[in-house]
Amino acid sequence: MTTPLSPLAPLGTPLNNDAQRLLLLGSGELGREVALEAVRLGLEVIAVDRYDQAPAMTVAHRRHVIDMLDGAALRKVVEQEKPGLIVPEVEAIATETLVALEAEGWRVIPTARATQLTMNREGIRRLAAEELGLKTSPFRFAGTEAEYLEAIEAIGLPCVVKPIMSSSGKGQSTVRQESEVLTAWKYAGEAGRGKSDRVIVEGFVPFDTEITLLTVRASDGTHFCPPIGHRQEAGDYRESWQPCALHPDTLAACQEMAKAVTDALGGWGLFGVELFIAGEADQPQTVYFSEISPRPHDTGMVTMVSQHQSEFELHVRAIMGLPIGEITLVQPGASAVILAGGKSDHPQYAGLDKALQVPTSKVRLFGKPTAHPNRRMGVALTLGDTIEEAKERAIACAQQVQVIL
């Protein structure tokens, strides 16, 4: 076992014997930013994913291609690399192996239990609603068609059906009329991650705004970033902006919920707390807890321009046991995603020259080796005097970038 990473112990040098190693489990675009921040703070980074040339692999010191749901393969990489920090960046990981590794003394971020509870919608929903008493949409779980029909009956229409093991809108549908009930069940079964046929049936929340409240648990306490608003389409985000206007009482209620759920999960690191807000910002609003990621959040990519410390820098500082201090907003900012229109084994990009003529704009291309319809290939980041201006700029910038298939 390596020396545990501690803010009090001296930090070694990457690629030397005394290096402090960070093992990144999941090497997508969010992982790539975590890797870059870790490299900046002097860590040696090993990137892992199920496919080669994943975004974080191209900036890491080493890489491994394994099926991260295969516990034996995961253990082998951990024992070979001896990381001071095991940092999950996706949900689909053999979390029971993380629990065993943690019990043997390996450090899992934020905790192995947190990765286990949040991998599965049932674990986190029961913790939030039943143990912590947080307000959520009404919900039922079902594992068979008969249970599903009972759940639909109990919740009523409209409702939202999601596989318990899924993210980014995969297998998710909104059921508005009787004729859609069985289609939603079949769709969830086909698109779920295959480990379980269980679904959650949630009452449809008629929210006005949805936000991500990035919450950091660090050695100097719990810190909140200004709320991030976002727009979703087909269960995946399209634009995000920061700050999102909320009534002061609503913001306090959001922070209280985020504190309760992050304290229950424990450990150090940044969490993306997803909340639904009903009502307008000129009066106190109703807040519903939706879900939480114990890691940087895709809608939080906007913080690469809008905050003095991005969500990735905050995550790496927190997991290293370093202080966060004050989180400051630089200016209102926005992000807009750049999606692929179809399949390709050799995606190319055009229009960057025009895209970067948009004032304040920056473009991040993720370098993913293949494209498929609606795969996120990049993001446009902009600032503005107002949120509206920043958003318009981000959308205008993203629209100029063409993914050539």
> H helices of 266-361, where?
303-306, 311-319, 352-355
Told to judge if 102 belongs to the known catalytic residues of this protein, a careful annotator would answer no
Q: Which of 361, 333, 138 is nearest to 243 (CA)?
A: 333
As a whole number of angstroms, the distance between CA 237 and CA 239 comes to: 6
50 is annotated as contributing to ligand binding: no
Backbone angles phi, psi at 313, to 5 degrees: -65, -40
Single-letter code of the amino acid located at 180: E
As a whole number of angstroms, the distance between CA 171 and CA 335 comes to: 25
Quick one: three-class SS letters along 344-405?
ECCCEEECHHHHCCCCCCEEEECCCCCECCCCEEEEEEEECCCHHHHHHHHHHHHHHCEEEC
274 is annotated as contributing to ligand binding: yes
DSSP, collapsed to helix, strand or coil, labels residue 258 as: helix
Which listed residue (58, 116, 232, 360) binds ligand AMP by CB under 6 A?
232
Q: Which helix (H) or strand (E) holds 139?
A: strand 139-142
User: Closer to ligand AMP at the Cβ: 89 or 210?
Assistant: 210
205 is annotated as contributing to ligand binding: yes
User: Closer to ligand AMP at the Cβ: 210 or 239?
Assistant: 210
Smallest gap from Cβ 169 to ligand AMP, in A, equals 5
Say if CB 21 and CB 36 are below 8 A apart. no
User: Closer to ligand AMP at the Cβ: 272 or 367?
Assistant: 272
Which listed residue (291, 362, 374, 399) binds ligand AMP by CB under 6 A?
291
Q: Which two three-digit tokens encode residue 313?
A: 């820098």
As a whole number of angstroms, the distance between CA 167 and CA 184 comes to: 16
User: Closer to ligand AMP at the Cβ: 70 or 291?
Assistant: 291
CA–CA distances in Å: residue 88 to residues 109, 250, 354, 377 = 7, 31, 36, 21
Told to judge if 173 belongs to the known catalytic residues of this protein, a careful annotator would answer no
Does 173 help bind ligand AMP (rule: CB under 6 A)? no
Told to judge if 18 belongs to the known catalytic residues of this protein, a careful annotator would answer no
> H helices of 82-228, where?
95-103, 112-119, 121-125, 145-155, 181-191
Does 235 help bind ligand AMP (rule: CB under 6 A)? yes
Looking at residues 117 to 156 of the shown chain, list those that interact with ligand AMP (rule: CB under 6 A).
Answer: 137
* Residue owning tokens 């024992």: 79
User: Closer to ligand AMP at the Cβ: 212 or 306?
Assistant: 212
Told to judge if 167 belongs to the known catalytic residues of this protein, a careful annotator would answer yes
Does 115 help bind ligand AMP (rule: CB under 6 A)? no
Number of residues that bind ligand AMP (CB under 6 A): 14
Does 33 help bind ligand AMP (rule: CB under 6 A)? no
Does 205 help bind ligand AMP (rule: CB under 6 A)? yes
190 is annotated as contributing to ligand binding: no
Told to judge if 229 belongs to the known catalytic residues of this protein, a careful annotator would answer no
Smallest gap from Cβ 160 to ligand AMP, in A, equals 4
Told to judge if 104 belongs to the known catalytic residues of this protein, a careful annotator would answer no
| Pairing state between β 44-49 and 62-65 | parallel
Smallest gap from Cβ 232 to ligand AMP, in A, equals 4
User: Closer to ligand AMP at the Cβ: 207 or 312?
Assistant: 207
Told to judge if 137 belongs to the known catalytic residues of this protein, a careful annotator would answer no
Return binding residues for ATP: 121, 162, 167-172, 202-205, 210
* Binding site per annotation, positions: 29-30, 89, 121, 162, 167-172, 202-205, 210, 274, 291, 298, 368, 375-376
Q: Which residues are catalytic?
A: 167, 169, 274, 291, 298-299, 376
Q: Which residues bind ligand AMP (CB under 6 A)?
A: 137, 160, 162, 167, 169, 202, 204-205, 210, 232, 235, 274, 290-291
